[in-house]
Amino acid sequence: MARTDARYNVTELRGLACLLLVAYHTVGVPGSGMHVADDSLYRYLTGSFELIRMPLFTFISGYVYAARPVRAGALRVFFGKKVRRLLLPFVIVSTVFYLLQTAAPGSHGNDAPEEMWRIYVFSYAHLWYLQALFLIFAAVGVADAFGLLATPRAFAPGFALALGAFFAIDTEANPWSVNEAATLLPHFLLGVAVRRFAATFRQPRVWALAPLGLAFGLAVHQASLLHLVPIQIGWKSGVALLCGMGGALTLLRVMPSSGVMRTVGEASYAIYLYHTFFTAAARIALVQLGWQADLLVFATSLGAGIAGPMVVEALAVQRPWSRVALVGRA
């Protein structure tokens, strides 16, 4: 993947988002991953990035999309590409993940539904993001095809609607991860806006607001994590918006150039798809060998979750069928 914009180290930023994601799934939620205590340092550190991690991924997706947005009359081609890129790997990886999860209970937690068909219709494991991102691309693609986001004046009502959906959409069944799509849509649109209306976002006062919002959001979130205030901060909150948007804008501005992070970022999609297979395998292997030190398990599983998918991608691209089926590339 070529660097997206000479002004910003976007590929490196995507690499950072990958590291945060793999670290989170390495530690896991209670009942999965490393099975560390709720008050452990590992869970605290991964929890500290809870409101930044996926918004950052989605912001980057919006920023990259804005380089080649949908044009009038091109929706069919656009959706065809998104089906290949997102939905085909979603079906294949979800199927394999489910079969492994049910064959080896505990290796990936205990969230597998009894009926297999549910993994394709409802939110499942980490693969919910592909469902949500497809819905986001669909909404933004249609809006762009009709010119509804082309200018700041046209963009503002669309962004306001996205903010309304952020707070309003919270279904109990959550078909096709619609709740998460609504939660992440404003972050995607922010990425689009930063690229599309670059002159506005290069103004010093705009950039100054981002770290201020991030600092305030993080302070409130940290107070919640440390039980200094009797509230829990979830994704559907103003604090989450401040952390997600402020974090994305601030990190975009300050992310340095790095060969290592660029390499990780170039493999970000494969890492997202396959990292859990390798983090679980490394963790289980270490435990079987008697190595149970938290730091060793964390570092080894994290490294496996980054390197393993890179190997999968390198092998997959050697054949046309595997390139399409396993990593969604033409």
Per-residue pLDDT of the chain (330 residues; tens, 9 = 90+): 344 466 899 999 999 999 999 999 999 877 677 888 888 899 999 999 999 999 999 999 999 999 999 988 899 999 999 999 999 999 999 999 999 888 865 555 557 788 899 999 999 989 999 999 999 999 999 999 999 999 999 999 999 999 999 999 999 999 999 999 999 999 999 999 999 999 888 888 888 899 999 999 999 999 999 999 988 898 999 999 999 999 999 999 999 999 999 999 999 999 999 999 999 899 889 988 888 778 999 999 999 999 999 999 999 999 999 999 999 998
Q: Are 109 and 32 in contact (CB under 8 A)?
A: yes
Long-range contacts of 323-329 (CB under 8 A, 24+ apart): 324/84, 324/88, 325/88, 325/89, 325/92, 326/89, 326/92, 326/273, 327/89, 327/269, 327/270, 327/273, 328/84, 328/85, 328/86, 328/88, 328/89, 328/269, 329/85
